[in-house]
Amino acid sequence: MAKKYTAGCACGAVRFEFNTDPDFVAVCHCLDCKKASGGEAATWFGVPENDFSLTQGKPTAYSYVADSGGKLDRNFCPTCGARVYTSNLTSFPGLVFVQLGSLDRPGAVTPKLEMFVKRRLPWVRSLGLPEFSDMPH
């Protein structure tokens, strides 16, 4: 039986699922998220590694050192190029960060906070959620 949340890339080659209801759901305006997503911000959330099941396909992982100095792997579908999740974060051991847009039902998860709002572009309106200038602490 599938887990509560199912997700995947745009073409369906990479599929994964998890049961955890995400509590840390961030809209992140940092430069890394801008560059990696190609958009103004990225929306993502943490899922415990031991609940995260890759059920189909083999994402291509690109290793990257973030501004913070922490290392991480960005995982993309090798067929369609969609970014699906981030893993092996030295700053957050035991967590996988899932890109909200990869969910089959992205409306099932809503953001809880905005972070790196110091990088938020002037044309973006506040979501009215708790805001953090940098990383929440």
Give the distance, in angstroms, between the CA of residue 98 and the centroid of all CA atoms in the same chain.
4
Please state the length of the chain.
137
Here the tokens at position 68 are 């913070």
Judged by CB under 5 A, which stretch of 24-32, 46-54, 62-70, 118-126 contacts Zn ion? 24-32
Window 29-68: residues binding Zn ion (CB under 5 A): 30, 32-33
Binds Zn ion by CB under 5 A, chosen from 9, 72, 89, 100:
9
CA atoms within 13 A of residue 29's CA, in its CB half-sphere: 19
Establish if 13 lies at the interface with Zn ion (CB under 5 A).
yes
Quick note: the x/- pattern for Zn ion over 68-107, rule CB under 5 A, is ---------x-xx---------------------------
124 close to 36: Cβ distance less than 8 angstroms = no
Residue ranges in contact with Zn ion by CB under 5 A: 9, 11, 13, 28, 30, 32-33, 77, 79-80
